[in-house]
């Protein structure tokens, strides 16, 4: 598959919502959390995008910027659509 295969990863449960951001206790390896990646609910509806990682290295929290009109509440599970980074092609000098 060109551009890399996409994977749906459970990122965790919403622990609170502040100023249009859902705060999620991370259940994934935060190295897979890429800013701007789409975030969906269990019904596969887009609810927002990955915004930032905060907190302690041993128990990080993820911030999700919610889309206008997204229906998300405390305790909801959210999922990240993860696409591996594209490999850069190296051009050989002549």
pLDDT in tens, 43-66: 999 999 999 999 988 889 999 999
pLDDT tens, position by position, 13-28: 999 999 999 999 998 8
pTM of the model: 0.80
CA pair distance 83, 40, nearest whole angstrom: 14
Give percent helix, percent strand, percent coil of the chain, each to the nearest 5. Answer: 5, 50, 50
Q: What is the dotted CATH code of the domain comprising 7-82?
A: 2.40.10.230
């Amino acid at each position: 598959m060109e551009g890399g295969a996409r994977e749906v990863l459970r990122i965790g449960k919403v622990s609170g919502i502040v100023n249009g951001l859902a705060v999620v206790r991370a259940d994934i390896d935060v190295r897979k959390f890429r800013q701007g990646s789409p975030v969906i609910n269990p019904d596969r509806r887009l609810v927002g995008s990955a915004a930032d990682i905060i907190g302690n290295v041993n128990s990080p929290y993820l911030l999700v910027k919610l889309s206008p009109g997204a229906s998300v509440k405390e305790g909801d599970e959210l999922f990240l659509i993860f696409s591996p980074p594209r490999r850069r092609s190296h051009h050989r000098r002549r």
